[in-house]
Structure 1
Amino acid sequence: MKIVDAIERQTRWAGYLGAVLILPLVLALVYEVFSRYVLGRPTLWAFEVSYMVMGAIFMFGMANALRVGQHVSVDVLSQNFSPRLKAGVHLACYGVLLPVLGWLVWELSFYAIEAFSSNERSGRSAWNPVIWPVFGVWWLGFVYLTLQVIAEMFKLWSTLLGHDHGAEVSS
Protein backbone atom coordinates (compact mmCIF):
# COMPACT_ATOMS: atom_id res chain seq x y z
CA MET A 1 0.00 0.00 0.00
CA LYS A 2 1.38 3.35 -1.00
CA ILE A 3 0.24 5.21 2.12
CA VAL A 4 1.82 2.60 4.39
CA ASP A 5 5.07 2.74 2.42
CA ALA A 6 5.12 6.55 2.62
CA ILE A 7 4.53 6.52 6.39
CA GLU A 8 7.12 3.82 6.97
CA ARG A 9 9.74 5.74 4.97
CA GLN A 10 9.21 8.67 7.35
CA THR A 11 9.26 6.40 10.39
CA ARG A 12 12.48 4.76 9.21
CA TRP A 13 14.02 8.21 8.69
CA ALA A 14 13.07 9.19 12.25
CA GLY A 15 14.65 5.99 13.55
CA TYR A 16 17.87 6.74 11.67
CA LEU A 17 17.88 10.26 13.07
CA GLY A 18 17.49 8.87 16.58
CA ALA A 19 20.35 6.45 15.98
CA VAL A 20 22.62 9.20 14.65
CA LEU A 21 21.92 11.29 17.76
CA ILE A 22 23.77 8.71 19.84
CA LEU A 23 27.06 10.17 18.56
CA PRO A 24 26.58 13.72 19.93
CA LEU A 25 25.26 12.21 23.17
CA VAL A 26 28.39 10.11 23.62
CA LEU A 27 30.67 13.00 22.64
CA ALA A 28 28.99 15.36 25.11
CA LEU A 29 29.27 12.85 27.94
CA VAL A 30 32.88 11.96 27.15
CA TYR A 31 33.77 15.65 27.02
CA GLU A 32 32.02 16.24 30.35
CA VAL A 33 33.91 13.40 32.03
CA PHE A 34 37.22 14.63 30.56
CA SER A 35 36.51 18.22 31.52
CA ARG A 36 35.40 17.32 35.04
CA TYR A 37 38.05 14.77 36.01
CA VAL A 38 41.08 15.73 33.91
CA LEU A 39 40.72 19.51 33.60
CA GLY A 40 38.87 19.95 36.89
CA ARG A 41 36.29 22.17 35.19
CA PRO A 42 32.82 20.64 34.76
CA THR A 43 30.70 22.02 31.94
CA LEU A 44 27.53 24.05 32.39
CA TRP A 45 25.77 22.40 29.47
CA ALA A 46 26.51 18.65 29.40
CA PHE A 47 23.73 17.59 31.77
CA GLU A 48 21.04 19.41 29.81
CA VAL A 49 22.39 18.34 26.43
CA SER A 50 22.47 14.72 27.58
CA TYR A 51 18.87 14.52 28.78
CA MET A 52 17.60 16.50 25.77
CA VAL A 53 19.44 14.33 23.25
CA MET A 54 18.51 11.12 25.08
CA GLY A 55 14.87 12.20 25.01
CA ALA A 56 15.14 12.92 21.28
CA ILE A 57 16.61 9.45 20.71
CA PHE A 58 13.60 7.87 22.42
CA MET A 59 11.07 10.15 20.74
CA PHE A 60 12.46 9.52 17.25
CA GLY A 61 12.90 5.81 17.91
CA MET A 62 9.50 4.87 19.28
CA ALA A 63 7.66 4.88 15.93
CA ASN A 64 10.45 2.92 14.27
CA ALA A 65 10.34 0.40 17.12
CA LEU A 66 6.64 -0.09 16.41
CA ARG A 67 7.36 -0.47 12.69
CA VAL A 68 9.82 -3.31 13.30
CA GLY A 69 7.77 -4.93 16.08
CA GLN A 70 10.10 -4.18 18.97
CA HIS A 71 7.68 -2.68 21.50
CA VAL A 72 7.02 -4.79 24.60
CA SER A 73 4.17 -7.19 24.02
CA VAL A 74 2.50 -9.71 26.30
CA ASP A 75 1.30 -12.43 23.99
CA VAL A 76 0.58 -15.32 26.34
CA LEU A 77 -2.90 -15.74 24.86
CA SER A 78 -2.52 -14.13 21.45
CA GLN A 79 0.40 -16.31 20.38
CA ASN A 80 -2.15 -19.07 19.80
CA PHE A 81 -4.58 -16.87 17.86
CA SER A 82 -5.04 -17.16 14.14
CA PRO A 83 -3.48 -14.30 12.12
CA ARG A 84 -6.93 -12.80 11.46
CA LEU A 85 -8.01 -12.94 15.12
CA LYS A 86 -4.67 -11.48 16.19
CA ALA A 87 -5.12 -8.72 13.60
CA GLY A 88 -8.59 -7.98 14.96
CA VAL A 89 -7.36 -7.75 18.54
CA HIS A 90 -4.46 -5.50 17.57
CA LEU A 91 -6.73 -3.35 15.44
CA ALA A 92 -9.08 -2.85 18.39
CA CYS A 93 -6.18 -1.93 20.67
CA TYR A 94 -4.80 0.55 18.13
CA GLY A 95 -8.32 1.93 17.80
CA VAL A 96 -8.22 2.78 21.51
CA LEU A 97 -4.65 4.12 21.31
CA LEU A 98 -5.18 6.35 18.27
CA PRO A 99 -7.43 8.98 19.94
CA VAL A 100 -5.02 9.19 22.87
CA LEU A 101 -2.13 9.79 20.50
CA GLY A 102 -4.17 12.38 18.60
CA TRP A 103 -4.86 14.20 21.86
CA LEU A 104 -1.14 14.08 22.79
CA VAL A 105 -0.10 15.49 19.41
CA TRP A 106 -2.70 18.25 19.74
CA GLU A 107 -1.67 19.25 23.26
CA LEU A 108 2.07 19.00 22.62
CA SER A 109 1.71 21.40 19.72
CA PHE A 110 0.42 24.00 22.17
CA TYR A 111 3.28 23.32 24.60
CA ALA A 112 5.85 23.81 21.84
CA ILE A 113 4.21 26.97 20.48
CA GLU A 114 3.80 28.48 23.95
CA ALA A 115 7.40 27.66 24.92
CA PHE A 116 8.62 29.26 21.69
CA SER A 117 6.53 32.39 21.99
CA SER A 118 7.39 32.93 25.67
CA ASN A 119 11.08 32.04 25.21
CA GLU A 120 10.68 29.53 28.06
CA ARG A 121 13.92 28.34 29.63
CA SER A 122 14.68 24.98 31.22
CA GLY A 123 15.68 26.27 34.66
CA ARG A 124 17.69 23.12 35.37
CA SER A 125 21.23 24.47 35.14
CA ALA A 126 23.31 27.62 34.87
CA TRP A 127 23.23 27.22 31.08
CA ASN A 128 19.42 27.49 31.10
CA PRO A 129 18.66 26.89 27.39
CA VAL A 130 15.34 27.51 25.67
CA ILE A 131 13.06 24.51 26.00
CA TRP A 132 10.90 24.77 22.86
CA PRO A 133 13.15 22.43 20.81
CA VAL A 134 12.52 19.69 23.37
CA PHE A 135 8.76 20.19 23.16
CA GLY A 136 9.04 20.29 19.38
CA VAL A 137 10.86 16.96 19.35
CA TRP A 138 8.23 15.45 21.66
CA TRP A 139 5.52 16.67 19.30
CA LEU A 140 7.31 15.32 16.24
CA GLY A 141 8.01 11.97 17.92
CA PHE A 142 4.33 11.53 18.74
CA VAL A 143 3.35 12.61 15.22
CA TYR A 144 5.57 9.83 13.85
CA LEU A 145 4.15 7.34 16.34
CA THR A 146 0.58 8.33 15.43
CA LEU A 147 1.33 7.93 11.74
CA GLN A 148 2.93 4.54 12.35
CA VAL A 149 -0.12 3.39 14.33
CA ILE A 150 -2.25 4.40 11.34
CA ALA A 151 0.06 2.41 9.03
CA GLU A 152 -0.20 -0.59 11.35
CA MET A 153 -3.98 -0.28 11.30
CA PHE A 154 -3.99 -0.31 7.49
CA LYS A 155 -1.84 -3.45 7.50
CA LEU A 156 -4.07 -5.12 10.08
CA TRP A 157 -7.22 -4.19 8.16
CA SER A 158 -5.65 -5.72 5.06
CA THR A 159 -4.96 -8.91 7.01
CA LEU A 160 -8.57 -9.01 8.23
CA LEU A 161 -9.76 -8.72 4.65
CA GLY A 162 -7.56 -11.66 3.71
CA HIS A 163 -5.08 -9.69 1.61
CA ASP A 164 -1.37 -10.31 1.89
CA HIS A 165 0.58 -7.17 1.08
CA GLY A 166 3.67 -8.33 2.89
CA ALA A 167 2.13 -7.15 6.12
CA GLU A 168 2.73 -9.26 9.16
CA VAL A 169 0.92 -8.88 12.42
CA SER A 170 3.58 -8.21 15.01
CA SER A 171 3.18 -9.90 18.34
Structure 2
Amino acid sequence: MKIIDAIERQTRWAGYLGAVLILPLVLALVYEVFSRYVLGQPTLWAFEVSYMVMGAIFMLGMANALRVGQHVSVDVLSQNFSPRTKACVHLLCYCLFLPVLVWLVWELSFYALDAFSSNERSGRSAWNPVVWPVFSVWLIGFIYLALQVVAEMLKFLSILVGNDATKGNAP
Protein backbone atom coordinates (compact mmCIF):
# COMPACT_ATOMS: atom_id res chain seq x y z
CA MET A 1 0.00 0.00 0.00
CA LYS A 2 1.23 3.44 -0.83
CA ILE A 3 0.11 4.90 2.51
CA ILE A 4 2.11 2.30 4.43
CA ASP A 5 5.18 2.97 2.29
CA ALA A 6 4.83 6.74 2.80
CA ILE A 7 4.52 6.39 6.57
CA GLU A 8 7.40 3.95 6.79
CA ARG A 9 9.63 6.23 4.72
CA GLN A 10 9.03 8.95 7.31
CA THR A 11 9.61 6.70 10.32
CA ARG A 12 12.77 5.32 8.70
CA TRP A 13 14.00 8.89 8.16
CA ALA A 14 13.28 9.76 11.80
CA GLY A 15 15.16 6.65 12.92
CA TYR A 16 18.16 7.63 10.81
CA LEU A 17 18.09 11.14 12.24
CA GLY A 18 18.00 9.69 15.75
CA ALA A 19 20.95 7.46 14.92
CA VAL A 20 22.96 10.40 13.57
CA LEU A 21 22.34 12.28 16.82
CA ILE A 22 24.51 9.73 18.61
CA LEU A 23 27.57 11.53 17.24
CA PRO A 24 26.93 14.92 18.93
CA LEU A 25 25.96 13.08 22.11
CA VAL A 26 29.25 11.18 22.20
CA LEU A 27 31.25 14.30 21.30
CA ALA A 28 29.61 16.35 24.04
CA LEU A 29 30.24 13.66 26.65
CA VAL A 30 33.84 13.10 25.58
CA TYR A 31 34.46 16.85 25.66
CA GLU A 32 32.90 17.07 29.13
CA VAL A 33 35.09 14.27 30.47
CA PHE A 34 38.20 15.82 28.91
CA SER A 35 37.33 19.29 30.15
CA ARG A 36 36.49 18.10 33.66
CA TYR A 37 39.34 15.69 34.30
CA VAL A 38 42.17 16.98 32.11
CA LEU A 39 41.54 20.73 32.10
CA GLY A 40 39.88 20.85 35.52
CA GLN A 41 37.04 22.98 34.09
CA PRO A 42 33.68 21.23 33.78
CA THR A 43 31.29 22.60 31.18
CA LEU A 44 28.02 24.35 31.95
CA TRP A 45 26.22 22.79 29.03
CA ALA A 46 27.20 19.11 28.68
CA PHE A 47 24.62 17.74 31.11
CA GLU A 48 21.80 19.61 29.39
CA VAL A 49 22.97 18.64 25.92
CA SER A 50 23.32 14.99 26.90
CA TYR A 51 19.81 14.51 28.29
CA MET A 52 18.23 16.58 25.51
CA VAL A 53 20.00 14.72 22.71
CA MET A 54 19.42 11.34 24.37
CA GLY A 55 15.72 12.18 24.63
CA ALA A 56 15.68 13.15 20.96
CA ILE A 57 17.37 9.88 19.99
CA PHE A 58 14.79 7.90 21.93
CA MET A 59 11.79 9.87 20.66
CA LEU A 60 12.87 9.82 17.02
CA GLY A 61 13.63 6.09 17.19
CA MET A 62 10.33 4.90 18.70
CA ALA A 63 8.42 4.64 15.45
CA ASN A 64 11.30 3.08 13.56
CA ALA A 65 11.69 0.47 16.31
CA LEU A 66 8.02 -0.41 15.89
CA ARG A 67 8.45 -0.56 12.11
CA VAL A 68 11.23 -3.14 12.37
CA GLY A 69 9.61 -5.08 15.23
CA GLN A 70 12.11 -4.18 17.95
CA HIS A 71 9.72 -3.14 20.73
CA VAL A 72 9.52 -5.50 23.69
CA SER A 73 6.77 -8.06 23.28
CA VAL A 74 5.68 -11.10 25.19
CA ASP A 75 4.73 -13.70 22.63
CA VAL A 76 4.59 -16.87 24.69
CA LEU A 77 1.00 -17.46 23.62
CA SER A 78 0.88 -15.57 20.34
CA GLN A 79 3.80 -17.45 18.79
CA ASN A 80 1.43 -20.39 18.39
CA PHE A 81 -1.37 -18.31 16.81
CA SER A 82 -2.17 -18.44 13.14
CA PRO A 83 -1.22 -15.30 11.17
CA ARG A 84 -4.89 -14.21 11.04
CA THR A 85 -5.39 -14.68 14.80
CA LYS A 86 -2.14 -12.88 15.51
CA ALA A 87 -3.23 -10.04 13.22
CA CYS A 88 -6.56 -9.82 15.02
CA VAL A 89 -4.92 -9.64 18.46
CA HIS A 90 -2.39 -7.05 17.33
CA LEU A 91 -5.09 -5.01 15.66
CA LEU A 92 -7.16 -5.00 18.85
CA CYS A 93 -4.15 -3.87 20.90
CA TYR A 94 -3.33 -1.11 18.44
CA CYS A 95 -6.97 0.02 18.51
CA LEU A 96 -6.59 0.49 22.26
CA PHE A 97 -3.15 2.13 21.97
CA LEU A 98 -3.90 4.61 19.17
CA PRO A 99 -6.33 6.81 21.17
CA VAL A 100 -3.69 7.14 23.90
CA LEU A 101 -1.15 8.24 21.30
CA VAL A 102 -3.58 10.73 19.78
CA TRP A 103 -4.20 12.17 23.24
CA LEU A 104 -0.45 12.41 23.89
CA VAL A 105 0.12 14.19 20.58
CA TRP A 106 -2.72 16.57 21.37
CA GLU A 107 -1.39 17.44 24.82
CA LEU A 108 2.25 17.62 23.73
CA SER A 109 1.33 20.10 21.01
CA PHE A 110 0.01 22.48 23.66
CA TYR A 111 3.00 21.80 25.89
CA ALA A 112 5.50 22.60 23.10
CA LEU A 113 3.55 25.68 22.00
CA ASP A 114 3.33 26.97 25.56
CA ALA A 115 7.07 26.43 26.10
CA PHE A 116 7.78 28.32 22.88
CA SER A 117 5.46 31.24 23.61
CA SER A 118 6.66 31.63 27.21
CA ASN A 119 10.33 31.08 26.31
CA GLU A 120 10.45 28.40 29.03
CA ARG A 121 13.91 27.49 30.23
CA SER A 122 15.19 24.24 31.70
CA GLY A 123 16.34 25.51 35.08
CA ARG A 124 18.65 22.51 35.47
CA SER A 125 22.01 24.21 35.02
CA ALA A 126 23.71 27.57 34.77
CA TRP A 127 23.38 27.36 30.99
CA ASN A 128 19.56 27.23 31.31
CA PRO A 129 18.58 26.70 27.64
CA VAL A 130 15.09 27.06 26.21
CA VAL A 131 13.19 23.78 26.19
CA TRP A 132 10.74 24.18 23.34
CA PRO A 133 13.05 22.38 20.87
CA VAL A 134 13.08 19.33 23.15
CA PHE A 135 9.32 19.39 23.58
CA SER A 136 8.92 19.79 19.82
CA VAL A 137 11.04 16.69 19.20
CA TRP A 138 8.90 14.79 21.71
CA LEU A 139 5.84 15.89 19.78
CA ILE A 140 7.34 14.84 16.45
CA GLY A 141 8.40 11.49 17.90
CA PHE A 142 4.90 10.71 19.12
CA ILE A 143 3.37 11.86 15.83
CA TYR A 144 5.64 9.42 13.99
CA LEU A 145 4.78 6.67 16.48
CA ALA A 146 1.04 7.27 16.00
CA LEU A 147 1.49 7.19 12.23
CA GLN A 148 3.48 3.96 12.45
CA VAL A 149 0.73 2.42 14.58
CA VAL A 150 -1.71 3.32 11.80
CA ALA A 151 0.63 1.66 9.28
CA GLU A 152 0.83 -1.46 11.45
CA MET A 153 -2.95 -1.51 11.74
CA LEU A 154 -3.25 -1.31 7.96
CA LYS A 155 -0.80 -4.21 7.60
CA PHE A 156 -2.83 -6.36 9.97
CA LEU A 157 -6.09 -5.37 8.30
CA SER A 158 -4.67 -6.48 4.96
CA ILE A 159 -3.80 -9.85 6.51
CA LEU A 160 -7.33 -10.19 7.89
CA VAL A 161 -8.97 -9.48 4.54
CA GLY A 162 -6.59 -11.90 2.81
CA ASN A 163 -4.79 -9.25 0.77
CA ASP A 164 -1.30 -8.96 2.20
CA ALA A 165 -0.45 -5.52 0.79
CA THR A 166 2.76 -5.39 2.81
CA LYS A 167 4.67 -7.76 0.50
CA GLY A 168 5.83 -9.91 3.41
CA ASN A 169 6.67 -7.04 5.80
CA ALA A 170 4.02 -7.77 8.42
CA PRO A 171 5.34 -9.07 11.72
Q: For each residue in 1:69-100, what CA deviation from the matched residue of structure 2 results, as whole angstroms up to 9, or x when unmatched?
A: 00000001000000000000000000000000
Q: Secondary structure at the match of 2:62?
A: helix
- The structural deviation recorded for 1:169 is 3.8
* Counterpart Cα distance in 1 of 2:40 and 2:64: 40
Q: For each residue in 1:102-161, what CA deviation from the matched residue of structure 2 results, as whole angstroms up to 9, or x when unmatched?
A: 000000000000000000000000000000011000000000000000000000000001
- The structural deviation recorded for 1:168 is 4.1
Q: Secondary structure at the match of 2:96?
A: helix
Specify every segment of 5 or more residues in structure 1 that has no aligned partner in the other structure, as ranges.
none
Conservation of the 8 A alpha-carbon contact between 1:86 and 1:169: no
Query: Percent of aligned positions with the same letter in both sequences?
Result: 82
Alignment of 1:99 onto 2:103:
no
What amino acid sits opposite 1:98 in the alignment? L
| Equivalent runs, 1:1-171 vs 2, <5 Å | 1-165=1-165, 166-170=167-171
* Number of equivalences: 170
* Counterpart Cα distance in 1 of 2:79 and 2:143: 30
- The structural deviation recorded for 1:163 is 1.2
Conservation of the 8 A alpha-carbon contact between 1:59 and 1:141: yes
Specify every segment of 5 or more residues in structure 2 that has no aligned partner in the other structure, as ranges.
none
Conservation of the 8 A alpha-carbon contact between 1:62 and 1:141: yes
* Counterpart Cα distance in 2 of 1:50 and 1:158: 42
Closer, same or farther: CA 93–70 of 1 in aligned 2, 3 Å: same
- Once superposed, what is the RMSD of the aligned Cα atoms? 0.7
